[in-house]
Amino acid sequence: MATDVHESINKTKVLIIGAGISGISAAEFMAKNGFTDFKILEASNRTGGRIWTYELDGKGINVEMGANWIHGIERNPIFQIADSNGLLQLRYKDKGLRHKNVFLTETGQEVNQKTVKDVDFSYGLLIQQCEEFYQMELYAPYDSVGEYMHYEIEEKLENLSDDERKLREMIFDQHLKQETVVSGCNDLNDVSLGEFGCYEELPGVHYTIPPGFQSVLDILLNQVPENNILLEHSVKCIHWGNNENDGRVLVECENGKKFSAEHVIVTCSLGVLKASCDRMFEPPLPKEKKESIEKLGFGIVDRLNLYFDEPIVDADIFRVELLWDDHQYKDNVRNPTDLATSWFRKIYSFEAVHSNDFPSLYCSSVVGSLTN
């Protein structure tokens, strides 16, 4: 007997797995075209996934726990939604926001701008070279971006005095930590040098969204019937590609609920697929899909928000770049890789958030296995 006639199985034409912006966008597209025979199954108790605007208790201040920036404007659908709905209306005021970046050592010393600019320039050229291996189909002399950077930076530092070398090394390290966040990897040794340049950055400036990234999601959610979203429905197994269910896909949730659909759109992150695709698909995904999932890297990026009772830096400062002397730390500490005592050394900068309105809120991103 075909399982989809079983009473306990909910039937729908399309199932979307995951209510992050990918799943919500797919739902919005269908709904605005008059098609509502779909359900979204979401594992957690909220929509948004890696977009999460969070209100600080009792302060009326929104902080981003996930995505924060619109990276570039040309061909960027997020920019188009935010701009056409007036979410960026405050941007002209941005000219009045803080703009100065300061580089501080562990002892609170500010590094002179000339050295910073010098290292910035060299680093920019190195990153450009990394991109060119892919873009110009050149032979990549090392496997990873990390190895290439290590050797190239070492060459730039080798004839300097001890003090100058240490200072420049710390600035290079700060840039490398930032690059791990941009690349979403735990370590630049995990990033392929030959493929690094295939990442395409959309042209145009970067914006934050003053009312919060959630407001973009809300615009899409307005089109989606509320009853079509089922929270706390973590998908356990997707039975597909067999004729037992009249060619329909049968989806089983951890809470025991079952759904059958003609089409399933899976929007779980690559991280989820890496961890669970073997047990999530029955029959297993084709070999080439599994290989792609295995070979693509997926790191951890966390966001830190710090709220102080009053501003901790001068009003014109937008970013505080942190220069850690990690080499000395490694020499002086018994267990330098112990995250419990050294996790904060991964923070490479703090940035003022909506600085005119809330001058004492700062955010930063950190990468790696901190959440372990």
Ligand X SMILES: Cc1cc2nc3c(=O)[nH]c(=O)nc-3n(C[C@H](O)[C@H](O)[C@H](O)COP(=O)(O)OP(=O)(O)OC[C@H]3O[C@@H](n4cnc5c(N)ncnc54)[C@H](O)[C@@H]3O)c2cc1C
- Give me the residues that bind ligand X (CB under 6 A), please: 17-23, 41-44, 49-51, 66-69, 71, 234-235, 267-269, 272, 301-303, 365
Q: Rounded to whole angstroms, what are the CA distances from 147 to 151, 152, 159, 187, 352?
A: 6, 9, 20, 11, 33
Compare residues 272 and 347 and give the one whose CB is closer to ligand X. 272
Contact criterion met (CB below 8 Å) for 28 and 267: no
CB of 303 to ligand X, least distance (A): 4
Kind of pairing, strands 69-71 and 349-352?
A: unpaired
CB of 74 to ligand X, least distance (A): 14
Closest CA to 40 of 251, 218, 272, 240: 251
Helix (H/G/I), strand (E/B), else coil: 103: strand
Compare residues 35 and 69 and give the one whose CB is closer to ligand X. 69
Compare residues 21 and 193 and give the one whose CB is closer to ligand X. 21
Compare residues 67 and 185 and give the one whose CB is closer to ligand X. 67
Kind of pairing, strands 249-253 and 258-266?
A: antiparallel
CB of 208 to ligand X, least distance (A): 8
DSSP 8-state assignment for residue 115: H
CB of 54 to ligand X, least distance (A): 12
CB of 31 to ligand X, least distance (A): 17
Compare residues 19 and 88 and give the one whose CB is closer to ligand X. 19
Element (H, E) at 166: helix 162-183
Tokens of 371: 């959440």
Compare residues 69 and 151 and give the one whose CB is closer to ligand X. 69
Closest CA to 328 of 121, 194, 166: 166
CB of 51 to ligand X, least distance (A): 5
CB of 266 to ligand X, least distance (A): 9
Give the residues across from 192 on adjacent strands.
Answer: 144
Owner of token pair 């930063």: 364
CB of 149 to ligand X, least distance (A): 23
DSSP 8-state assignment for residue 110: B
Q: Rounded to whole angstroms, what are the CA distances from 57 to 44, 47, 356, 359?
A: 21, 20, 20, 17
Compare residues 103 and 213 and give the one whose CB is closer to ligand X. 213
CB of 183 to ligand X, least distance (A): 12
Q: Rounded to whole angstroms, what are the CA distances from 192 to 145, 185, 186, 291, 318?
A: 6, 11, 13, 16, 32
Compare residues 55 and 118 and give the one whose CB is closer to ligand X. 55
Compare residues 53 and 122 and give the one whose CB is closer to ligand X. 53
Give CA–CA dist 42/216, Å, rounded: 19
Q: How many other CB atoms are there within 10 angstroms of residue 90's CB atom?
A: 17
Give the residues across from 53 on adjacent strands.
Answer: 64
CB of 89 to ligand X, least distance (A): 20
Tokens of 295: 């070979």
Give the residues across from 196 on adjacent strands.
Answer: none
Compare residues 122 and 349 and give the one whose CB is closer to ligand X. 349
DSSP 8-state assignment for residue 197: G
Cα pseudo-dihedral 18, 22, 24, 26, rounded to 10: -110
